[in-house]
A and B are shown apart, each in its own frame.
Chain A
Amino acid sequence: MNTWTARLENPLSARLRDPATTGAFGILLGAFAAFLAIPPIEARTVTWPILFGIVAAALGIWTVTRGRRRLGWGAVAAGLLGIGLGILATRSSTGNLESAFDATLVAQTLGFSTPLVFGAIGGMFSERSGVVNIGLEGMMLMGAFWGVYGADKGGSWAVGLLVAMGVGGLLALVYAFFAIHLRADQIVGGTAVNFLAVGITGYFFIELYNNNPIHNGVSLLPNVHVPGLPVNPDNPHGFVDFLGQAVGDLSILTWAGLALVILAYVVLFKTPIGLRIRACGEHPRAADTVGINVYVIRYGCVILSGMLAALGGIYLSEGPQGNGTFIFNMTNGRGFIALAAMIFGNWRPAGAAAAALLFGFSSALALKLQVYSQSAGTLFQILPYVLTLIAVAGVIGRTVAPAADGKPYAKQ
Chain B
Amino acid sequence: MSDPGPSPTPEEAAETGTLAASIALKQRAGGIIVPVVTVVFAFVMSFIIVAATQHSVHTALVVFKEIFLGSGLNWLAHPTTNTFTSISAYNLSQTLLQTTPLILTGLAVAFAFRCGMFNIGGNGQYLVGLIVANWLGVDFAGLNPFLHILLCMSAGTLAAAAYAGIAGVLKATVGAHEVISTIMLNWIAYWTASWLFGAGGALQNSTSPTNPVSNQVSPGARLPDFWGKQGFQGLHVGIFVSLAAVVVFWILLNRTTLGYEVRAVGFNPDAAAYGGINVKKNFIRAMAISGAFAGLAGTLDMLGGAQNYQVGQLDIPFIQVGFIGIAVALLGRNTAVGTLLGALLFGGLLYGSFHGLGSSSVIDPTLASNLTYIIQGLVVLFVGADVLILYVWNSRKKARRRPRGKPAERVEATT
Contacts and interface: CB of A to CB of B under 8 A. Distances in A.
B377 A394 contact: no
B85 to A, nearest CB: 33
B317 to A, nearest CB: 9
A392 B414 CA distance: 26
Given A199-B374, A203-B49, A343-B180, A374 B2 contact: no
Interface string A180-219: 0011110111011111111110111011001100000000
Contacts of A191: 120, 323, 326, 380
Interface residues of B, number: 65
B384 A407 contact: no
A25 interface: no
A382 interface: yes
A283 B387 CA distance: 23
A184 B382 CA distance: 9
B177, B330, B385: most-surrounded residue (chain A CB, <10 A): B385
Interface string A378-407: 110110011011001110001001001111
A333 B22 CA distance: 30
B82 interface: no
A134 interface: yes
Interface string B182-199: 011111101110110011
Nearest to B15: A410
Contact of A378 (B120, B191, B388): B191
Interface stretch (B64-72, B233-241, B265-273, B363-371): B363-371
B141 interface: no
Contacts of A385: 184-185, 187-188, 191
A44 to B, nearest CB: 27
Contacts of A242: none
Interface string B303-329: 000000000010010000001001100
Contacts, number: 190
B381 interface: yes
B333 to A, nearest CB: 13
B389 to A, nearest CB: 10
Contacts of B186: 336
A203 B374 contact: yes
Contacts of A199: 370-377
B414 A410 contact: yes
A409 interface: yes
Contacts of A404: 415
B201 A375 contact: yes
Nearest to A383: B191
B51 interface: no
B384 A185 contact: yes
B407 interface: yes
B155 to A, nearest CB: 23
Nearest to A175: B381
Contacts of B375: 199
Interface string B383-402: 11101100100000000000
Contacts of B22: 185
28 contacts: A178-B385, A183-B388, A188-B383, A189-B381, A191-B120, A192-B384, A194-B323, A195-B323, A196-B373, A199-B372, A199-B375, A199-B377, A200-B370, A202-B366, A203-B373, A210-B364, A211-B364, A339-B183, A375-B200, A379-B195, A381-B194, A382-B187, A382-B192, A386-B184, A388-B180, A393-B176, A404-B415, A408-B17
Given A389-B181, A392-B181, A410-B15, 6 more contacts: A185-B387, A189-B381, A196-B373, A378-B198, A378-B201, A406-B2
* Shortest 4 CB-CB contacts between residues of A and residues of B: A199-B373, A196-B377, A195-B377, A199-B374
